[in-house]
């Protein structure tokens, strides 16, 4: 049988089943999907590939899923470092956005983000930002998978004047792009403190009718929680639960301020947590009790947040930080072992996005979103367990190849759809603008 592509590798880590590692196996891909997974010689006997890629010192893993980004904010990377969240937002980031955010800003910032994500093994990102139509356009142009947030605030910004306008523009965008194979959508109300009850009720109704997920910052800081309690005698989680938002289609980002009763409430709703450990650490926002959440049966995915607060979009680094932080915070060295960290960055992210039948593992029938990691470097030797080595020792510079739906978007460290020289020139222009007094 003739097929489009066979990738041979030293190790294939499918993620599902959980503890399986195949040695000297082949991934067989046709029409953008995985059609077989078998030993190398058997693959060559059974299939004739138009393209045969051999990676004899590499591990293949599912494409990493970055479940929380503000992609265009790459242009604000390093602009206001070492500040707490509300000072960072209100006195630096929001004023800069008010002055500079435009369709061109989002286009160039998203291009920078996509280049960085592909070069570090991310094949799908879940975004929340202004001009989502531009983010979607750039994702389509560069061939990466994206879940585009239909952002909502109560107050006016450069993109819309009020909550109804955000919703109307978002719904129009969703209708326009509903047949794009690599694009999905979520409603993205920014946070409990920036979106009031009336638009949240509308979002809940629309989400139920359209079977869309909801993606929202929740319990990000102690200030957010205490301010809500002073105003309504409820925590933000309790308010969202009363409004009917917490469900298996809800993604709560950050969740750093959680009492045991919050965890139990959340677990009973089937909602998902998107953990952003490096952003939370950098902004001193607090610690998500990941080990307790996993023990309660909550699905926990990983995100980087925006590069303005991280300051990178490196999901390999995020996995390592998530695993180490969980151990230190819980006092349990067995908390979030390497395989759990890898699941958080792959299949758990797919579940949070409602895409677990499409991506998140190297399973027959799923889309061929695949990452090859070179484990031959000195920094990853000697090698006893490739999963542990990927989570605890591997640099994003060891990502050599990335395929999305079977298309080779990073080939031996070279991006195939993005002109790096042109991108550098555009970013240099923005750096000059953003540093003007």
What is the H or E stretch that residue 59 is in? strand 48-62
Helices (H) and strands (E) in the chain, counts: 17, 16
Nearest to 326 by CA among 376, 300, 291, 366: 291
Residues 224 and 134 in one domain: yes
Nearest to 252 by CA among 136, 148, 377, 126: 126
Residue 425 counted as domain residue? no
> Which residue range is the domain that position 193 belongs to?
64-352
Residues 49 and 185 in one domain: no
Tokens representing 341 are 């960290």
Residue 267 counted as domain residue? yes
Residues 259 and 171 in one domain: yes
Q: What is the mean pLDDT of the chain?
A: 97
Whether the bond into 17 is cis, omega within 30 of 0: yes
CA distance 61 to 12: 6
Residues 248 and 176 in one domain: yes
Residues 70 and 122 in one domain: yes
CA distance 260 to 173: 39
* Segment 102-123 mean pLDDT: 98
Residues 153 and 272 in one domain: yes
Residue 142 counted as domain residue? yes
More confident residue, 228 or 116: 116
Residue 437, pLDDT above cutoff 80: no
Residue 226, pLDDT above cutoff 60: yes
Tokens representing 7 are 């990738």
* Segment 101-122 mean pLDDT: 98
Per DSSP, 169 falls in state H
C-alpha distances (whole Å) from 392 to each of 212, 317, 321, 338, 395 are 35, 9, 9, 8, 9
Residue 256 counted as domain residue? yes
CA distance 215 to 243: 15
Nearest to 24 by CA among 60, 52, 66: 60
Residue 358 counted as domain residue? no
Residue 410, pLDDT above cutoff 60: yes
* Segment 407-434 mean pLDDT: 97
Are 142 and 124 in contact by the 8 Å Cβ rule? The answer is: no
Are 310 and 279 in contact by the 8 Å Cβ rule? The answer is: yes
pLDDT for the residue numbered 86: 83
**Angle, CA of 211, 132 and 407, to the nearest 5°:** 80
pLDDT for the residue numbered 366: 98
Residues 55 and 98 in one domain: no
The last residue of one of the domains, among 320, 352, 384, is: 352
Residues 283 and 387 in one domain: no
Residue 332: CB atoms within 10 Å: 11
Residues 381 and 337 in one domain: no
Residue 423 counted as domain residue? no
Tokens representing 122 are 């991310």
**Confidence (pTM):** 0.98
The count of domains in the chain is: 2
Task: Give the bridge partners for 51, in sequence order.
Answer: 5
* Segment 292-320 mean pLDDT: 97
Least confident range of 45-59, 218-232, 291-305, 365-379? 218-232
pLDDT in tens, 189-212: 999 999 999 999 999 999 999 999
Tokens representing 385 are 């367990």
Residue 177: CB atoms within 10 Å: 19
Residues 136 and 273 in one domain: yes
- Structure-token match 């003739």, residue found: 2
The runs of H, that is alpha helices, within 357-436 are 386-392, 420-434
Residue 191 counted as domain residue? yes
Task: State phi, psi for 330 to the nearest 5 degrees.
Answer: -85, -15
Residue 120 counted as domain residue? yes
Residues 120 and 242 in one domain: yes
* Segment 78-89 mean pLDDT: 88
* Segment 24-39 mean pLDDT: 98
The last residue of one of the domains, among 352, 376, 399, is: 352
Residues 335 and 382 in one domain: no
CATH code at 113?
A: 3.20.20.140
CATH code at 11?
A: 2.30.40.10
Residue 168, pLDDT above cutoff 90: yes
């Amino acid at each position: 049988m003739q097929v489009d592509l066979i990738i041979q590798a030293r190790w294939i880590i499918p993620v599902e089943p959980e503890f399986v590692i195949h040695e000297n196996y082949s991934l067989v891909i046709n029409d953008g999907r995985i059609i077989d997974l078998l030993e190398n010689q058997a693959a060559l006997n059974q299939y004739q590939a138009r393209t045969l890629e051999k990676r004899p010192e590499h591990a293949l893993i599912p494409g990493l899923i970055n479940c929380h980004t503000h992609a265009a904010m790459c242009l604000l990377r390093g602009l206001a470092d070492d500040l707490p969240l509300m000072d960072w937002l209100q006195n630096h980031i929001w004023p800069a956005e008010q002055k500079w955010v435009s369709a061109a800003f989002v286009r160039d910032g998203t291009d920078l983000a996509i280049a960085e994500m592909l070069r570090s093994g991310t094949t799908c990102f879940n975004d929340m930002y202004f001009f989502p139509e531009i983010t979607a356009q750039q994702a389509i142009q560069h061939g990466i998978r994206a879940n585009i947030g239909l952002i909502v605030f109560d107050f006016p910004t450069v993109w819309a004047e009020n909550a109804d306008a955000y919703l109307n523009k978002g719904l129009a965008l969703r209708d326009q792009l509903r047949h794009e194979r690599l694009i999905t959508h979520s409603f993205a109300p920014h946070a409990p403190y920036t979106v009031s009850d009336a638009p949240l009720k509308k979002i809940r109704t629309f989400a139920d009718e359209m079977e869309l997920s909801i993606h929202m910052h929740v319990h990000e800081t102690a200030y957010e929680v205490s301010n809500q309690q002073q105003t309504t005698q409820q925590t933000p989680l309790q308010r969202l639960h009363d409004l009917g938002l917490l469900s298996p289609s809800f993604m709560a980002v950050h969740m750093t301020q959680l009492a045991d009763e919050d965890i139990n409430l959340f677990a009973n709703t089937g909602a998902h947590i998107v953990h952003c450990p490096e952003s939370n650490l950098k902004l001193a926002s607090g610690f998500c009790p990941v080990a307790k959440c996993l023990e309660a049966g909550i699905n926990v995915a990983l995100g980087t947040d925006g590069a303005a607060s991280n300051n990178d979009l490196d999901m390999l680094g995020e996995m390592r930080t998530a695993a180490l932080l969980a151990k230190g915070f819980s006092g349990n060295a067995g908390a979030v072992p390497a395989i759990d960290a890898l699941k958080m960055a792959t299949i758990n992210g797919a579940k949070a996005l409602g895409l677990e039948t499409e991506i998140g593992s190297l399973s027959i029938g799923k889309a061929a979103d695949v990452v090859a990691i070179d484990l031959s470097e000195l920094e990853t030797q000697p090698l006893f367990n490739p999963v542990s080595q990927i989570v605890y020792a591997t640099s994003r510079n060891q990502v050599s190849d990335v395929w999305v739906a079977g298309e080779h978007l990073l080939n031996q460290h070279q991006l195939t759809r993005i002109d790096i020289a042109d991108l550098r020139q555009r970013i240099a222009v923005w750096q000059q603008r953003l540093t003007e007094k």
